[in-house]
Structure 1
Amino acid sequence: MMRYRLEKRPEPSKLMLYGTPVAAVVLTMILGCLLFSAIGYNGLRAVQEIFLTPLTNPYKWQDLGIKAAPLIIIGTGLSVAYRANVWNIGAEGQYIIGALAATGVALMTWGMSGWWILPVMAIAGMAAGMAYASIPAFLKTRLNVNEILTSLMLTYASVQLIYYLIRGPWKDPMGIGFPQSRLFSEAARLPNIIPGTIVHLGVPIAVIVALIAWFVMSKTVFGYRMRVVGAAPHAARYGGFSETRTIWLAMLVSGGLAGLAGMLEVAGPFQRMVPGFPTNYGFTAIIVAFLGRLNPLGVIVAGVVLAITFVGGQVAQTTIGLPDEATGIFQAMMLFLLLAGDILVRYRIRRVSPEASVGAA
C-alpha cells in the first residue's frame, strides 16, 4: 500500500509567495461561478456583481472606502500579532468593546461640543480593546491557556454586553421601544472628508495606521522582535527577547487597533450603538491579514479586496437575488484556497513505498 507524506520545498521565491493570493482570488471567482451555477443562480453574473460591479460603478467607490477602513485597521493589528506567532482570533470582540467604550464617552458628553470629544473616544476605544485583549494574554503567559480559545470565546461575551446595554442603561428614551442608544451629538460623529459622500475621516486614518505599522515592523527593533520571536523562538530566547513580553505586546497592539476600528465605525457609519453593530469585521480581518501576507502594505490591498466582496454581495442581493450568505461563502473559499496554496508552495506531496517506510523505521 502506497503512502504519502509532505516534504518541505526549498524557500519559495517572492513571485510564488505573492502570486498565491492573486491565484486564490482568481480561483475563488472561477469556483464561485461554478458553485452558484450548480445551485440554480447565474454564476457568471454573480461573480460579475460581487467582484466587478463595485469597481466599475463610481457610486460604489465610497462604499468600498467605508468597508475597507475597519478591515485594514484590524487586519494590520492581526498581522503584527501573527508575525509574532500569537493567534488572536477574538478581534471581533475587541472591536465591539472598543466601540462600546467610545459609545460610553459619546453618551457622557451628549449635548456637549468641542474638538476633544473624538480624540477621547479614540483613546477610550483603543484602551478598551487593549484591556479586552489583555485577558487572553494574561491567561496565556500565566496559565498557558490557548489564546485562540480564550480570545474567541470573549467575542460572544462582548455581543451579549451590547444587548444588555442598549436594552437597559443605554436605551434611547426617544427610541419608541427600539433597542438602541441615542444618536450621538455632532461633536461625537466623524466628519465626512469629501463633500456629498459618506467617506469619513476613518478612511485616511486606516491607511495612515497601516503605513505606520509597516515602518515599525520593517525598520524598528519592535518589528524585528516580533519577526524573530515568530520565526525562531529558540533563537529569540538566546538573543534575549522575552516570549512573554512579546505575547503581551502583540495582543495589546492587535487589541488596541481593533478597538480603534470599533470607535471609528460607531462614530462614522452608525453614529449610535445598535444590535446590528457586530458585522464580523474582526473575523473577516483574519482573511485580510493572511491575504496581505502579514505585511501592512499588503493588508491595504487585501482590505480593499474583501471590501469588494462585502459591497458586491449587497449588490448581488438586489440584482439577482443572491442570498446574504453568498459573501461569506466567497470569503471562506478565498481563505481555504489561500491556505491550500501556501501548503503547496512550501511543501510537496511525495509518494513513499512500503519498503522505504519500513527501512526508514
Structure 2
Amino acid sequence: MPFRLEKRPEPSRTMLYLTPAAAVLLTMIVGAIIFSAIGYNGLGAVREIFFTPLTNSYKWQDLGVKAAPLIIIGVGLSIAYRANVWNIGAEGQYIVGGLAGTWVALATYSMSGPWILPLMILAGVVGGMLYAAIPAFLKTRLNVNEILTSLMLTYASVQLIYYLIRAPWKDPMGMGFPQTRLFAESARLPTIIPGTIVHLGVPIAIIVALVAWFIMSRSVFGYQMRVVGTAPHAARYGGFSENKTIWLALLVSGGLAGLAGVLEVAGPFQRMVPGFPANYGFTAIIVAFLGRLNPLGVIFAGIVLAITFVGGEVAQTTIGLPNAATGIFQSMMLFFLLAGDLLVRYRIRRTAVQPSRSAA
C-alpha cells in the first residue's frame, strides 16, 4: 500500500531538543555496528572518538581550540538559516578570511605593535563578508541559487591558497615548502592559559555566541531574520525586504566565517599552509542544525563536533581507524538529526489504493 506524510501538531520544545541527543546516541550505536562489520573495533572506535577526549584531561585544550571556529561559523550559519538563506560556502569564506589576515601579517612583518592583530581580525571579517557578497549579489540581482554559488566559490578559494603560497607569498627560507613565513609575534594570538595551546579565540567564540543570542532574541534584526525565514508573506506585509534580509544574512554569516579563519591562521597555524582548509565550514553546517539554529545551542553542538575531531585523531593512533572515520560519524549524525526532525514533525500514514474505473 502507498504511504504519505501527514503533518503532526506542533512538536513540543522538549521533543525538539531531545532529537539532537537521540541523533548523537544513534550515531554511536550504528557507528559501532558499521565499523565492527568492516573489521575494526567498533566499540573501541566509539570509545576513542566520543569519550576519550572527555576523560583525558590532556585533550581538553584541543577541544577548546577545535570548538572555537566551529562555534563562530555555526553561529553565523544559524543566523542565515533562520532567515531561510542557505549559505553552504562558509568554508570558502573562512579561507578568504584567513588569507586576508595573512596579507596583513605579511605586510606588517617588519613592524610591531598591539594594533596589528586587531587589523588582521578586521581584515578577516571584511574578507569573509566580501566573499559572501558574491552569492548575495547573484541571488538578489539575477536570482541565482545561493547554495550553488556559495559552494562553488569554496573551491575557488582553495585554489587561491595554493597559488599564493606557491608564488607571491612563498617563504624564501622555507626550503621549498609551499607555505608563508611564520608570523611575527605581534600577528599571533596570545594563549590565555600558560603552558597550553588555548588561545584568545576560544573566549571570543563564546562571546560571539552570547552576543548573537542576545541580538537574535532581543533586537529588530533578529526578529527580521526569524519572520522572513518562517513567514515571508507576513514579512513583506510588515515592511521587511527579502533582498535586504538575504544581504544581511550572507554578510553576517560570511563575516563570522572570516573571523574564524583569521583567528585560526593567527592562532594554531601562525602561517598560511596548504592544510589550512580543515572543513570547519562544512562541519559547522552540522553544528548549526545540531544546535537548533540557536546560538546558545551552537556552543554545545560545537563542543560535540570538536569531540569527534579530537577523538578521530586519537582513534587513528590507538586502534588504527582511518582518517575518514571522523567524517563518517559526522555525516551519520546529520542524517539521524534530519531523519529525527522529519519524524517529529510528520507521521507516516498508509493510504488505501482506490480501484481504477477501468478495473471496475
Alignment TM-score, normalising by the size of structure 1? 0.98
**1:212 match:** 211
- Give the drift of 1:111: 2.4
Which consecutive residues of structure 1, in runs of 5 or more, have no partner in the other structure?
Answer: none
Cα separation, 2, equivalents of 1:10 and 1:355: 27
Q: SS at the partner of 1:354?
A: coil
Q: SS at the partner of 1:268?
A: helix
Q: SS at the partner of 2:343?
A: helix
- Give the drift of 1:237: 0.4
Identity of aligned residues (%): 82
Cα separation, 2, equivalents of 1:269 and 1:60: 15
- Give the drift of 1:3: 1.1
**1:256 match:** 255
Worse overlay, 111-120 or 269-278: 111-120
Cα separation, 1, equivalents of 2:306 and 2:324: 15
- Give the drift of 1:112: 1.3
Cα separation, 2, equivalents of 1:325 and 1:87: 26
- The aligned amino acid for 1:92 is E
- The aligned amino acid for 2:232 is P
- Give the drift of 1:304: 0.1
Q: SS at the partner of 1:193?
A: coil
- Give the drift of 1:15: 1.1
- The aligned amino acid for 1:4 is F
Q: SS at the partner of 1:88?
A: coil
Matched ranges for 1:1-361 at <5 A: 2-355=1-354
Cα separation, 1, equivalents of 2:64 and 2:355: 56
- Give the drift of 1:356: 9.2
Q: SS at the partner of 1:338?
A: helix
Q: Could you list the per-position Cα deviations for residues 60-104 of structure 1 after superposition, in whole angstroms to 9, with x for gaps in the alignment?
A: 000000000000000000000000000000000000000000000
Cα separation, 2, equivalents of 1:169 and 1:7: 59
Q: Could you list the per-position Cα deviations for residues 294-337 of structure 1 after superposition, in whole angstroms to 9, with x for gaps in the alignment?
A: 00000000000000000000000000000000000000000000
Cα separation, 2, equivalents of 1:356 and 1:283: 48
Q: Could you list the per-position Cα deviations for residues 8-43 of structure 1 after superposition, in whole angstroms to 9, with x for gaps in the alignment?
A: 100000111000000000000000000000011111
Cα separation, 1, equivalents of 2:355 and 2:224: 42
Distance of aligned partners of 1:356 and 1:184 in 2 relative to their CA distance in 1, 3 Å threshold: farther
Which consecutive residues of structure 2, in runs of 5 or more, have no partner in the other structure?
Answer: none
How well do the aligned residues superpose, as a CA RMSD in angstroms?
Answer: 0.9
Q: SS at the partner of 2:178?
A: coil
Show structure 1 runs of 4+ deviating over 2 A: 355-358
Q: SS at the partner of 1:265?
A: helix
Q: SS at the partner of 1:170?
A: coil
- Give the drift of 1:357: 10
Alignment TM-score, normalising by the size of structure 2? 0.98
* Count of residues in Structure 1 that have an aligned counterpart in Structure 2: 357
Cα separation, 1, equivalents of 2:130 and 2:194: 36
Q: SS at the partner of 2:354?
A: helix
Cα separation, 1, equivalents of 2:269 and 2:42: 33
Q: SS at the partner of 1:7?
A: strand
- The aligned amino acid for 2:307 is I
